Amino acid sequence: MSKFTLKELGSDADLPDDYQKYLGPGGGLLNLENHLPFSPDSIKSSNPGMWRYADMLPLNEPSGALHLGEGWTPLVTLQGQFSGLRMKADFLMPSGSYKDRGASVLLNRCRELGIREVIQDSSGNAGASVAAYAASTGIAASIFLPENTSPAKVAQVKAYGATLRTIPGDRKATSEATLEAAKNTFYASHIYNPWFFEGIRTIAYEIWEQNGEKSPDEVVIPAGNGSLLIGLFLGFKAIEKAGCGKLPRLIAVQAENCAPLALPANLETKPTMAEGIAIAHPPRGRQIIETVKESDGFITTVNENEILSAWKSISLSGWLIEPTSAAAIAAASRLLAEGRIKPGAITVATGHGLKTLLK
Ligand SMILES: *Cc1c(COP(=O)(O)O)cnc(C)c1O
């Protein structure tokens, strides 16, 4: 049996294994069914990082993957003001964000397909991550960025040898230019390409192992386009299907200033410190809301004061993370105080604070 089936959302037809467009033939989002079960017996703990799960990733030859040893980040217990919470320190990654898990699997998939060149658009971590793994897999990358992107992020993309395509105008102009270019070049997108989500799955597998081979009750995460949320969901669903644990409640956190998932009626968005989740129109919005519901979780918001205050406190305890990650800690801390989540809840720290400090 094949390792996976690729489908367009809302259609039963299987797409060819080597399908390379970013949307289905009917213009719908793509989803992948990974037929490789979660299987504790096939964990290769001598492999570096998340590649201990190589045999569960939908690649033709995972043992031949070119990677940077990303993953197997610590799950730590927070102290002081945040005691009662645990944090998966996923900002400790080669390019400084959890997105490396997705980019690593996606670029290795591209390599297996014989793709020589990819494009990606991002004003933040996804661009840096795709540029890093394009470098490690020997694929040329062009990263489309809005003209006002912070110099530190531009410098990181450049350092990996990617071609910078600076687009005048706002974020929307950059998206439009990318979609136009995607007609001719492979779009290595963290939003559209399901292989990205397959890499994110490994956070769930690691949490399961580090939590004593059990699923936790609750996971609290920042959410914008939902790649972290959907990836975690797929991972924990596989764990549940294998009879190894349950699906935890997934609690998605948005900044009050930009909360299309939590406050859909409030279409006006304002800038937020939590730039990693400042997504006004997430293409997978409906899928995100359904995923949260299926896990019996919910979506909540935090304001700018709460984000800044949590960021300052967590920095004073020695953890330098992005304000976007502090947003999830701020929410988890409030929910714990309100008794809406239990002690032991896990937050995922998604991005390294050095990136935003240099702004
Ligand atoms: C991308 C990102 C997120 C959120 O991911 P989505 O897939 O957009 O939901 C959270 N934190 C940081 C630091 C990010 O870069």
Nearest CA to ligand 1 atom 13: 351
The DSSP code sequence of 17-58 is: TT---SS-TTSPPEEEEE-SPP-GGG--TTSSGGGGGGGGS-
Q: Which residues contact 97 (CB under 8 A, 6 or more apart)?
A: 90, 91, 125, 128, 129, 276, 322, 350, 351, 352, 355
Q: Which residues contact 276 (CB under 8 A, 6 or more apart)?
A: 97, 124, 125, 222, 224, 322, 324, 325, 350, 351
Average pLDDT over residues 155-170: 93
Q: Please tell me the predicted confidence (pLDDT) of residue 358.
A: 64
CA–CA gap between residue 351 and residue 89 (Å, rounded): 9
Q: Ligand 1, residues 92, 261, 277: which to mutate, most atoms within 8 A of Cβ?
A: 277
Average pLDDT over residues 345-356: 94
**229 CA: nearest ligand 1 atom:** 9
Q: Ligand 1, residues 100, 101, 228, 357: which to mutate, most atoms within 8 A of Cβ?
A: 228
Closest alpha carbon to 225 in 256, 193, 248:
193
Q: What is the pTM of this model?
A: 0.97
CA–CA gap between residue 354 and residue 335 (Å, rounded): 27
Cβ of 123 below 6 Å from ligand 1 = no
User: How far away, in angstroms, is 95 Cα from ligand 1 center?
Assistant: 14
- Reported as a pLDDT band with limits 50, 70 and 90, residue 1 is low
Q: Is it the case that residue 205 has pLDDT exceeding 60?
A: yes
Which helix or strand (DSSP H or E) is residue 143 part of?
strand 140-146
Task: Identify any residues that bridge with 347 across adjacent strands, giving them in sequence order.
Answer: 87, 220
Q: Ligand 1, residues 73, 92, 125: which to mutate, most atoms within 8 A of Cβ?
A: 125
Average pLDDT over residues 172-197: 95
Work out the percent of the chain whose per-residue pLDDT is above 70: 98
Closest alpha carbon to 195 in 1, 6, 2:
6
Q: Is it the case that residue 149 has pLDDT exceeding 90?
A: no
Q: Please tell me the predicted confidence (pLDDT) of residue 169.
A: 84
Q: Is it the case that residue 218 has pLDDT exceeding 90?
A: yes
Q: Please tell me the predicted confidence (pLDDT) of residue 359.
A: 57
- Amino acid identity, position 127: G
- Reported as a pLDDT band with limits 50, 70 and 90, residue 147 is confident
